Structure 1
């Protein structure tokens, strides 16, 4: 028997599907989309409030969701997120934190950062304050992100920060300015994957064509494993930047497949620093393997 309830325009269904070892029932929330440009953020928040713990959240295929608010969706636990539709955002589309989070795009899901306005505004200033990030795992543990695309990110594409035991698989990241040929510098800081203060991260079978670092192992990145990654028109794989946070000692270890090391000096600008830093740091145990 299924009990159906409506909450803030979100369809929630209680089922017997098991997603966790200690879970008897799973509540499923299907997020509706206005489809006319109206803000869908309230319905998305309601879905995560209802189904963010031991639940299943579905962004339906062939639906376009307009996100006009920053969605910081925290304290999630044992949740399956089916990102089958398209998210249009003007800021961070999703910042997820918690334990045992799975985001699966089923090869149809897209996060569209609508970044052209930011490329035009930045005009080569990679550190322009306020440029948005479309997807972030922050303080996440034992979590998976797979089978979706991010395009036209306003800044960094996919950020993993203060997280542990993260699997990233089959993610496609692309960012191209309409006037890239005339002004190729305006795509600065559109990194593909960035890790910061995170441990045990595995990135595999993915594609980056975004104009800046393909992967950047920023301070506090340990045990980061990258394989089967295609980097097109990128700055390569970066170890750093180091010395970006004044008064902090930066350490990166057990990194591999690195290409170059970045350092910061001079006066810090904004927070997190968009330039300068004047800190200190250390890089060790960097290996390059060729097969």
Structure 2
């Protein structure tokens, strides 16, 4: 593990410019509304998940080529319940881009209990990001079926004020529920967060430089590695 000081000058407000795109609900699959909002505000826009809204995704979401985008994330987003069609997928939601900022206090519900009860450890990660010059914070991931978040091939990324918690309601405990999996990333700061998970709080894999963890509480997991 390499520990370094990460200093980024970008601010959340810097990305909150341009067009505003509110995520619409879809009776069949809210993935469609999410994908459309990001498409409409792909460059220099603000994607809004309004407070009080709930979205149920039933498809894999891949968002790419974001540039100067702010995500106002105040809603609840439910991942699918256990379904064999999702086995082995990389992530339920993937974000890729440059100068992306997310905040707002919203939450992702992984519906992990439905995977733990069938003892299936092949679920997708809830959220995977490949971002440059970005900041994500002030959101929750609850009951992830496997890893909560993946950081892959990122550069100059700040993660702050995260709350991840996966806790079973029966004897089928959370399996392989790493809080944060990091690979091929340069200059990452994880700070001011609480991680209550059934596996590693950080899994720092190959190809990383400049990883800093500051003021992060790890509960019930295997620690930082």
Q: TM-score, normalised by structure 1?
A: 0.67
**Would you say 1:171 and 2:158 are equivalent positions?**
no
**Would you say 1:226 and 2:218 are equivalent positions?**
no
Secondary structure of 1:166's counterpart equals: strand
Separation in structure 1 between the aligned mates of residue 208 and residue 49 of structure 2, nearest angstrom: 31
Secondary structure of 1:42's counterpart equals: helix
Separation in structure 2 between the aligned mates of residue 19 and residue 46 of structure 1, nearest angstrom: 23
**Would you say 1:76 and 2:66 are equivalent positions?**
yes
Shift of 1:187: 1.7
Separation in structure 2 between the aligned mates of residue 52 and residue 201 of structure 1, nearest angstrom: 24
Separation in structure 2 between the aligned mates of residue 19 and residue 235 of structure 1, nearest angstrom: 37
Instruction: Tell me the equivalent position of 1:32.
Output: 24
**Would you say 1:94 and 2:93 are equivalent positions?**
yes
Secondary structure of 1:47's counterpart equals: helix
- Structure 2 residue runs of 5 or longer lacking an equivalent are 1-12, 81-85
**Would you say 1:154 and 2:145 are equivalent positions?**
yes
1:120-176 CA deviation, whole Å, 9 max, x = no partner? 1226xxxx33x12111112x1111110000001011001100111100000000001
Higher-Rg structure is 1
Alignment of 1:115-194 (within 5 A): 115-122=112-119, 128-129=121-122, 131-138=123-130, 140-179=131-170, 182-183=171-172, 186-194=173-181
Aligned length: 204
Shift of 1:41: 1.1
Shift of 1:94: 2.2
Instruction: Tell me the equivalent position of 1:205.
Output: 192
Instruction: Tell me the equivalent position of 2:108.
Output: 111
Contact 1:196 / 1:217 at 8 angstroms: preserved in 2?
Answer: yes
RMSD: 1.7
Q: TM-score, normalised by structure 2?
A: 0.86
Secondary structure of 1:156's counterpart equals: coil
Q: Which of 28, 31, 45 does residue 55 from structure 1 map onto?
A: 45
- Structure 1 residue runs of 5 or longer lacking an equivalent are 1-17, 239-291
Contact 1:19 / 1:26 at 8 angstroms: preserved in 2?
Answer: no
Shift of 1:220: 1.1
Secondary structure of 1:237's counterpart equals: coil
Contact 1:194 / 1:216 at 8 angstroms: preserved in 2?
Answer: yes
Separation in structure 2 between the aligned mates of residue 76 and residue 205 of structure 1, nearest angstrom: 26
Higher RCO, Cα 8 Å, sep 6+: 2
Contact 1:57 / 1:82 at 8 angstroms: preserved in 2?
Answer: yes
Contact 1:132 / 1:153 at 8 angstroms: preserved in 2?
Answer: no
